[in-house]
Amino acid sequence: MKILHTSDWHLDWMTHGVRRHDELRVAAHEMVKYAVAHDVDLFVFTGDLCNPDSGSCVFECVELAIMVACLLRDRGIPSVWVSGNHDVIEDGRGRTTLAPLAALGLNVHVFETGACRYVSAKRKGIEVLALPYPSATRPYSFDEVFASIPEAEPAHDPLLVLSHLSVPGVQLGEESHEMARGRDVNYPIERVLGLMKKRGGVMLQGHYHRRQSLNFGERWMHIPGSLAQLTFSEEHHRPGFLVIEV
């Protein structure tokens, strides 16, 4: 299965007073063209579409996400959207800027809270364990999420673990400094690795703006980085997306 993985668009961001939305819109459309031209099976977004407190530009940001999801769906490519720390609306309801995408229905999967769910890709399905950034006012329970994961069978499909949490050993950047929002919520790495040992699969992570891959013994975690260089300190980053074979 071929998966296109992207994260940290930050469509509302301004670099020294210059809005980045138009540039990021072009990058998002080029990414969709790539997904269609290379016949990917699943599109995955792991958080940070935009900050809900950014004003009226939030509508433009959500519009672009909906457009991307619809373009992919029209070409038979399902999409999975996992919320990040910049997406959470801290009003006690636990909703995020990704909530409108859920209204698109078939083949558009939105995770605003932790869950394990079977997702149909273009050619076959895969079981997705989503660990989005939890709301401070209405967090979800890791214990409940892991308790809901079905036992693996001999011929069980691999597990796709998607996250927007804080990971040990990662190379930090402006997501932890100039662009910080919220609190650190640690990735339950030992629990996830225990699952991966039984099930196999891959870990895909958002939140961090520098593209990198982390080795955890027999398993790798892949981080695509942000879609653009968002601050001057990110001048050496390689913005873009990843294509993963599972």
The angle formed by the CA atoms of residues 102, 103 and 107, to the nearest 5 degrees, is: 65
Mark 186-215 as b/e (b = at least 16 C-beta within 10 Å): ebbbeebbebbeebebbbbbbbbbbbbebe
d(CA 17, CA 29): 24
Q: What is the mean pLDDT of residues 127-132?
A: 97
Give the pLDDT confidence of 179-188 residue by residue, as tens digits.
999 999 999 9
Give strand ranges (E) for 75-173: 79-82, 108-111, 115-120, 125-131, 159-163
Is the pLDDT score of 211 beyond 90? yes
Which residue, chain included where needed, has tokens 């935009």? Answer: 50
Is the pLDDT score of 224 beyond 70? yes
Give the pLDDT confidence of 44-93 residue by residue, as tens digits.
999 999 999 999 999 999 999 999 999 999 999 999 999 999 999 999 99
What is the model's pTM? 0.96
Is the pLDDT score of 154 beyond 60? no
Q: What is the mean pLDDT of residues 192-208?
A: 92
Amino acid 156: pLDDT = 61
With a CB cutoff of 8 Å and minimum separation 6, the contacts of 17 are: none
Per DSSP, 186 falls in state B
